[in-house]
Amino acid sequence: MQIPYTSKPRPDTGLYNAKVGLWLFLASEVMLFGGLFSAYILLRTGHEGPWPRGWLSVPIGTFNTMVLISSSISATMAWAACKMGQFNRFKMFHGITLLLAILFLGVKSFEYRDKLTHYWVETKSGVVADGHLVKKTDTEVVLHGVRTSDAAVLYDRTSADYKKLHHEEITIPTADIKKISNYQPKLNIYLSLYWCITGLHALHLIGGILVFGYLWGPGSSMWNRDRERFTNRIEIAGLYWHFVDLVWVFVFPVLYLF
Amino acid sequence: MASSNAATHSHAHDHAHAHDDHHAPTGFWTNYIFSTDHKVVGIQYGVTALFFMLFGFGLMMMMRWQIAHPGEALPVLGPLLEKLLGSNMAGKGIISPDLYNSFGAMHGTIMVFLAIVPLATGAFGNYLVPIQIGAIDMAFPKLNMASFQLYFWGGVVMFTSFFVPGGAAQAGWTSYPPLANAIPTDGQTYWLIGMVFLISSSLLGSANIIATIIQLRAPGMTWMRMPFFVWSQFVAAFLLLLAFPPLEAAGVMQLMDKVFGTSFFLPTGLAVGGDLANISGGGSPLLWQHLFWFLAHPEVYVLILPALGIISEIIACNTRKPLWGYKTLVYSALMLGFISFIVWAHHMYMTGMSTKIATFFQTTTMIISIPSVIILTCLLLSLWGGSIRFNTPMLFATAFLPMFAIGGLTGLPLGFNYSDIHLHDTYYVIGHFHYVVAPGTIFALFAGIYFWFPKVTGRHMNEFWGKVHFWGSLVFMNVIFMPMFSQGMGGMLRRMSDGGINYLLRPELLYMNKVILYGAIGLALAQIPFIINFFQSISGGKKVTSDNPWEATTLDWQTPTPPGHGNFDRPMEVFRGPYEYSVPGHQTDFTPQNEKPKA
């Protein structure tokens, strides 16, 4: 007894089981990220005061977008190679996808680290200092960044505008600090959304990397046992991968550009 | 899995591949704990869900005691509670308001997410959908196993939360922030983590059921030959698949609010206990309500659709005639599925929603009552002129119809914002949705258990004790829930641990709290024959004399009893619709779906 249509498509639906399952899974994923983006829209439209804009590096985000789009192309090429029966070519393209995915996460963790060393300090005298931490002792905090009494310039800006602001080494005595926080999720609602959405997206990438890694390594022995089923696995892993890319294509403008 | 013809690894097989051969598992662990067989998974779901249902019922009993006798020590269980949960929760055996809130929140959570939905979709869906469509298993057996394991561990997390510092979640099953964040207990965090488990479980399960129905129907099993039960599972699975993820997103956000101190749902200027909360602010409590009800309204239809499916099978079989309006039922179920996604804000009329938005949601809410009434009417008409066999499953099924109707019709005043303003958050609401779910869905589930028990175990449950169980349940369900309408209209609010003594506008309604308590005790007693009957019949019930003891038409009765691994002893092919009962000229009064037409 065998479960039918595990690799051959069912004639009336034209699909094999795993493909149906994956599309259903993706439909639920659309609703998951749809929920998050709805939250973004509702929180932003209901927001009072300036919305943080230009807090992320657009060049880095663009670069990462390119990395993911390229990985989508190589994922498709790997599947095509399977279809043509070229195992070595598959290994190459599939490996490229993996490396690009890891590169993306590397860049992303660089961005995360940057956010965690970036501090926002409000003093009792009404000055806001915003910059990367240089030194922190019991008596003082030293940042390298911008000092201003008009916090609005720090909120709504482009990253180019921000660069034009005067950067300097700022020393703030601890006694003068009213509020100090790095760019962690709870600093403001924008950063909460940023960490939540990109974090969930990164988890999806990690999941994808595990699957791709398995299919490149131990899982690829199925090529010799059951070529068609293996090709199907590559196809549905690729479908998932395209979806993760697509989510990023929405994440990038929403969080980096708008 | 081992391979029987792995030698032929060309990719030109006609059928599925050798390494995917569907062997019966061996050994205790693979047989009973990590089984991939849909029937075992279904039974695992069923037993676990029944346990949780009993547990949730127990919580309710303790709450009813507290409402009827506020401030009095709980008899029998009081000292035990104090020992287990500490004296600040149940000092001297008296349920504290905090503990009452925990019980309320966890009663709702457990009944919806751990008892009824898993029983309706996890147990009945898993066990019956493949055998009703003539498949040998679900499309993804391993995912099926994973789905159950996630559900089980989600349940364990929820259960454990009673014993963490601060006790279990106390903000209602809806977990509205900022209340949910303001209560100083870790239980809320456990609740959220448990929910993430349960949501993931239901995603795997529902995708599996849909894929199975799309892909694994036996030859000849066209869409309009599927039993209505399969259709109801199909629509319910879509609701779970698409409505749950936004709540998962919301759960992750509330978890971040709890753990990382973000403010997704906490507004600027929030004061807790008179002091300004130390939060970053900028969030929106309404956002949670929207995301929550976007799931929780479709969830209502997840509760009711499989119940309607079970009832349809039982009514068709026990009236010995086809369902009245099979296609109408199918289209109504589909309509119900679609519209259930656009009614959610009728739970939120009291949030200061604009009248324009309220009008939209009132309109959709009234529209969704149309397919519900169509389904109910079809089922009622199906009884007309039938020679009805009043066995236990049929008693539950026929009682379901008026009970569900009471539940549905009392919902209409809640669907209009002007009447909802008066009734919102009162016992009227409690009465309304319990009529839908308790004597509604739970009766259907009981009916299903009595009906399919012979197929699953090969033995009948005892009819006499079944009838005792039925009449007891029917009477006491109404004793419990009917007074709640009066209390609610009299202004008694829900979620009051003192039973409304200090708030009730009409104190003369308070005596009903005692009536309801006696009803609850009666209902508990009425379940005893069921529990004994259930376990006793597994080994001691009357043996079935054929594979098709009810003389039903659908494919689930064409399997050996109980069905072995792979379900069927011969390949199934379907030639006719699901309810060919009493066909003129046919020698029996039922024609199985796989019976070949005469040439």
DSSP-derived secondary structure for B529-578: HHHHHHHHHHHHSPBPSSS-TT---SGGGGS-SS--TTS-SS-----S-T
Q: What is the pLDDT of residues B207-230, one digit of tens each?
A: 999 999 999 999 999 999 999 999
Give chain B's radius of gyration (CA, Å): 25
Chain B CB contacts of A183 below 8 Å: none
Predicted confidence band of residue B277 (pLDDT cuts 50, 70, 90)? confident
Question: Is residue B237 over pLDDT 90?
Answer: yes
pLDDT for the residue B274: 84
Mean pLDDT of A140-167: 88
Q: Lowest mean pLDDT of B19-33, B116-130, B399-413, name the range.
A: B19-33
Of B19, B215, B263, the CB nearest to A17: B215
Q: Do A42 and B241 touch (CB under 8 A)?
A: no
Please, which residues 245-264 of chain B have a Cβ atom closer than 8 Å to chain A?
Answer: 245-250, 252-253, 256, 260-264
Q: Confirm or reject contact between A179 and chain B (CB < 8 A).
A: no
Helix axes B187-215, B141-160, angle to 10 degrees: 160
Chain A CB contacts of B259 below 8 Å: none
Q: Lowest mean pLDDT of B23-32, B241-250, B253-262, B340-349, name the range.
A: B23-32
Residue B441: name the closest of B547, B309, B586, B297 by CA. B309
pLDDT for the residue B23: 64
Mutate to test the interface with A, among B4, B10, B11, B239 (most CBs of A within 10 A): B11
Residue written as tokens 């599972």?
A: B233
Q: Confirm or reject contact between A182 and chain B (CB < 8 A).
A: no
Question: Is residue B319 over pLDDT 80?
Answer: yes
Q: Could you give the CA distance from residue A181 to residue B313 in angstroms, rounded to a whole number? A: 62
Question: Is residue A244 over pLDDT 90?
Answer: yes
Chain A CB contacts of B291 below 8 Å: 35, 38-39
Amino acid of residue A91 = K
Chain B CB contacts of A48 below 8 Å: 268, 282
Read off the tokens for B572: 């199934």
Chain B CB contacts of A221 below 8 Å: none
Facing residues of A120 across strands? A130, A181
Query: Who's near B474: CB < 8 A, 6+ residues apart?
Result: B399, B439
Of A6, A32, A47, the CB nearest to B249: A32
Read off the tokens for B55: 């547990």
Mean pLDDT of B90-98: 92
Q: Could you give the CA distance from residue B166 to residue B148 in angstroms, rounded to a whole number? A: 29
Residue B192: name the closest of B90, B113, B126, B138 by CA. B113
From residue B511, alpha-carbon distances to B67, B125, B263, B435, B515 in Å are: 11, 42, 44, 21, 7
Q: Confirm or reject contact between A133 and chain B (CB < 8 A).
A: no
Read off the tokens for A129: 């200092």
Question: Is residue B592 over pLDDT 70?
Answer: yes
DSSP B178: T
Mean pLDDT of B121-138: 96
Q: Output the CA torsion sign for B91, B93, B99, B100.
A: negative
Q: Which domains does chain A have, with CATH numbers?
A: 22-115+187-257 (1.20.120.80), 119-182 (2.30.30)
Backbone angles phi, psi at A175, to 5 degrees: -65, -25
Question: Is residue B5 over pLDDT 50?
Answer: no
Residue A51: name the closest of A161, A151, A179, A180 by CA. A151
Closest CA of chain B from A163, distance in Å? 26
Residue of chain B with shortest Cα separation from A187:
B280
Of B135, B208, B283, the CB nearest to A43: B283
B585: left (phi over 0), alpha (psi -120 to 50) or beta: left
Q: Confirm or reject contact between A88 and chain B (CB < 8 A).
A: no
Contacts 24+ apart (CB under 8 A), B326-331: B326/B224, B326/B228, B326/B577, B326/B578, B326/B579, B327/B224, B328/B374, B328/B378, B329/B228, B329/B231, B329/B374, B329/B375, B329/B378, B330/B224, B330/B228, B330/B231, B331/B371
pLDDT for the residue A160: 80
Q: Do B264 and A224 touch (CB under 8 A)?
A: no
Please, which residues 202-221 of chain B have a Cβ atom closer than 8 Å to chain A?
Answer: 203, 206-208, 210-211, 214-216
Read off the tokens for B592: 């199985």
Q: Do B242 and A28 touch (CB under 8 A)?
A: yes
Facing residues of A10 across strands? A15
3-state secondary structure B510-533: CHHHHHHHHHHHHHHHHHHHHHHH
Q: Do B215 and A10 touch (CB under 8 A)?
A: yes
Q: Do A25 and B207 touch (CB under 8 A)?
A: yes
Q: Could you give the CA distance from residue B122 to residue A126 in angstroms, rounded to a whole number? A: 59
Residue of chain A with shortest Cα separation from B261:
A186
Q: Confirm or reject contact between A225 and chain B (CB < 8 A).
A: yes
Of B245, B261, B283, the CB nearest to A31: B245
pLDDT for the residue B1: 37
Mean pLDDT of A135-157: 90
More confident site: B497 or B140 = B140
Residue of chain A with shortest Cα separation from B570:
A1
Closest CA of chain A from B130, distance in Å? 11
3-state secondary structure A159-219: HHHHHHCCCEEEEEEHHHEEEEEECCCCCCHHHHHHHHHHHHHHHHHHHHHHHHHHHHCHH
Question: Is residue B118 over pLDDT 50?
Answer: yes
Q: Could you give the CA distance from residue A106 to residue A210 in angstroms, rounded to a whole number? A: 15
Mutate to test the interface with B, among A3, A87, A231 (most CBs of B within 10 A): A3
Question: Is residue B19 over pLDDT 60?
Answer: no
From residue B192, alpha-carbon distances to B149, B175, B188, B196, B521 in Å are: 17, 9, 6, 6, 32
Mean pLDDT of B468-475: 98
Closest CA of chain A from B210, distance in Å? 8
Of B214, B252, B283, the CB nearest to A20: B214
Question: Is residue B3 over pLDDT 70?
Answer: no
Mutate to test the interface with B, among A15, A24, A197 (most CBs of B within 10 A): A24
Of B249, B252, B261, the CB nearest to A186: B261
Q: Confirm or reject contact between B351 and chain A (CB < 8 A).
A: no
Q: Lowest mean pLDDT of A1-5, B179-183, B572-576, name the range.
A: A1-5
Of A1, A5, A31, the CB nearest to B246: A31
Question: Is residue B308 over pLDDT 50?
Answer: yes
Query: How confident is the prediction for chain B on average, in pLDDT?
Result: 92
From residue B92, alpha-carbon distances to B44, B86, B441 in Å are: 38, 10, 37
Model ipTM value: 0.95
3-class DSSP state for residue B217? coil
Q: Do B20 and A35 touch (CB under 8 A)?
A: no
Question: Is residue B546 over pLDDT 60?
Answer: yes
DSSP A1: -
pLDDT for the residue B25: 63
Of B203, B281, B566, the CB nearest to A1: B566
Of A20, A33, A38, the CB nearest to B215: A20
Chain B CB contacts of A189 below 8 Å: 262-264, 280-283
Please, which residues 24-43 of chain A have a Cβ atom closer than 8 Å to chain B?
Answer: 24-25, 27-29, 31-36, 38-39, 42-43
Find out whether the peptide bond into B592 is cis, omega within 30 degrees of 0: no
Question: Is residue B170 over pLDDT 70?
Answer: yes
Q: Could you give the CA distance from residue B129 to residue B122 in angstroms, rounded to a whole number? A: 10
- Chain A / chain B CB contacts < 8 angstroms: 170
Q: Confirm or reject contact between B341 and chain A (CB < 8 A).
A: no
Predicted confidence band of residue A159 (pLDDT cuts 50, 70, 90)? confident
Amino acid of residue B130 = P
